Amino acid sequence: FPYAQLITCMLIVHWVVTPVIASQVMISAVAATCAVFLVTFVLWCLVLITMEIDQPFGEDANDLPIREMQRDFNQSLMTLLHPMAQRVPTYEDVTRRRRNSFL
Protein backbone atom coordinates (compact mmCIF):
# COMPACT_ATOMS: atom_id res chain seq x y z
CA PHE A 1 0.00 0.00 0.00
CA PRO A 2 2.75 2.59 0.73
CA TYR A 3 4.36 1.54 -2.56
CA ALA A 4 1.27 2.67 -4.50
CA GLN A 5 1.26 6.00 -2.66
CA LEU A 6 4.96 6.53 -3.40
CA ILE A 7 4.40 5.81 -7.09
CA THR A 8 1.46 8.24 -7.11
CA CYS A 9 3.64 10.99 -5.60
CA MET A 10 6.35 10.32 -8.17
CA LEU A 11 3.80 10.53 -10.97
CA ILE A 12 2.57 13.88 -9.68
CA VAL A 13 6.16 15.16 -9.74
CA HIS A 14 6.52 13.72 -13.24
CA TRP A 15 3.26 15.42 -14.28
CA VAL A 16 4.65 18.80 -13.13
CA VAL A 17 8.26 18.48 -14.33
CA THR A 18 7.78 16.81 -17.73
CA PRO A 19 6.00 19.74 -19.44
CA VAL A 20 8.75 22.12 -18.35
CA ILE A 21 11.53 19.89 -19.66
CA ALA A 22 9.65 19.06 -22.87
CA SER A 23 9.05 22.75 -23.60
CA GLN A 24 12.79 23.41 -23.28
CA VAL A 25 13.94 20.41 -25.30
CA MET A 26 11.41 20.30 -28.14
CA ILE A 27 11.10 23.02 -30.77
CA SER A 28 7.42 22.58 -31.57
CA ALA A 29 4.92 23.39 -28.83
CA VAL A 30 2.36 21.06 -30.39
CA ALA A 31 4.83 18.15 -30.42
CA ALA A 32 5.82 18.85 -26.82
CA THR A 33 2.17 18.96 -25.74
CA CYS A 34 1.35 15.70 -27.52
CA ALA A 35 4.42 13.94 -26.17
CA VAL A 36 3.81 15.06 -22.59
CA PHE A 37 0.14 14.13 -22.75
CA LEU A 38 0.85 10.70 -24.22
CA VAL A 39 3.61 9.80 -21.77
CA THR A 40 1.69 11.06 -18.73
CA PHE A 41 -1.54 9.37 -19.82
CA VAL A 42 0.15 6.00 -20.39
CA LEU A 43 1.97 6.09 -17.05
CA TRP A 44 -1.19 6.98 -15.11
CA CYS A 45 -3.09 4.20 -16.91
CA LEU A 46 -0.41 1.67 -15.97
CA VAL A 47 -0.47 2.74 -12.33
CA LEU A 48 -4.25 2.55 -12.11
CA ILE A 49 -4.27 -0.90 -13.71
CA THR A 50 -1.61 -2.18 -11.31
CA MET A 51 -3.52 -0.80 -8.34
CA GLU A 52 -6.63 -2.68 -9.52
CA ILE A 53 -4.68 -5.90 -10.06
CA ASP A 54 -2.96 -5.55 -6.69
CA GLN A 55 -6.27 -6.09 -4.85
CA PRO A 56 -8.17 -8.86 -6.68
CA PHE A 57 -10.60 -9.66 -3.85
CA GLY A 58 -13.69 -7.61 -3.16
CA GLU A 59 -17.01 -6.64 -4.68
CA ASP A 60 -15.87 -4.50 -7.64
CA ALA A 61 -16.66 -5.42 -11.23
CA ASN A 62 -13.04 -6.45 -11.90
CA ASP A 63 -12.60 -8.57 -8.78
CA LEU A 64 -12.48 -12.35 -8.65
CA PRO A 65 -15.77 -14.16 -7.88
CA ILE A 66 -14.47 -15.76 -4.68
CA ARG A 67 -17.84 -17.07 -3.43
CA GLU A 68 -18.57 -18.82 -6.71
CA MET A 69 -15.04 -20.24 -6.88
CA GLN A 70 -15.35 -21.56 -3.32
CA ARG A 71 -18.73 -23.19 -4.10
CA ASP A 72 -17.24 -24.89 -7.18
CA PHE A 73 -14.26 -26.09 -5.16
CA ASN A 74 -16.52 -27.47 -2.42
CA GLN A 75 -18.64 -29.25 -5.05
CA SER A 76 -15.49 -30.80 -6.52
CA LEU A 77 -14.46 -32.02 -3.08
CA MET A 78 -17.91 -33.51 -2.48
CA THR A 79 -17.68 -35.28 -5.84
CA LEU A 80 -14.35 -36.81 -4.83
CA LEU A 81 -15.87 -38.04 -1.57
CA HIS A 82 -18.72 -39.83 -3.38
CA PRO A 83 -18.47 -43.66 -3.09
CA MET A 84 -18.38 -44.09 -6.89
CA ALA A 85 -15.30 -41.87 -7.02
CA GLN A 86 -13.46 -44.15 -4.59
CA ARG A 87 -13.24 -47.03 -7.08
CA VAL A 88 -9.98 -47.47 -8.91
CA PRO A 89 -10.53 -47.35 -12.67
CA THR A 90 -9.78 -50.52 -14.59
CA TYR A 91 -7.20 -50.54 -17.32
CA GLU A 92 -7.96 -52.22 -20.60
CA ASP A 93 -5.09 -53.00 -22.91
CA VAL A 94 -6.67 -51.95 -26.20
CA THR A 95 -3.40 -51.90 -28.11
CA ARG A 96 -2.71 -55.58 -27.41
CA ARG A 97 -6.17 -56.57 -28.67
CA ARG A 98 -5.76 -54.47 -31.81
CA ARG A 99 -2.33 -55.94 -32.50
CA ASN A 100 -3.66 -59.50 -32.12
CA SER A 101 -6.62 -58.79 -34.40
CA PHE A 102 -4.28 -57.73 -37.23
CA LEU A 103 -2.16 -60.87 -37.00
The amino acid at residue 103 is L
Q: What residue spans define the domains of the chain? A: 2-102
Q: pTM of the predicted model, to two decimals?
A: 0.57
In tens digits, what is the pLDDT along the chain, a chain of 103 residues?
677 788 889 999 999 999 999 989 989 999 999 999 999 999 999 888 888 887 788 787 878 888 999 999 999 999 888 888 777 777 777 666 666 666 5
Q: Does residue 13 contact residue 40 with C-beta atoms inside 8 Å?
A: no
pLDDT at 55: 78
pLDDT at 80: 87
Query: How far is Cα 37 from Cα 39, in angstroms, rounded to an integer?
Result: 6
pLDDT at 84: 81
pLDDT at 56: 80
pLDDT at 52: 81
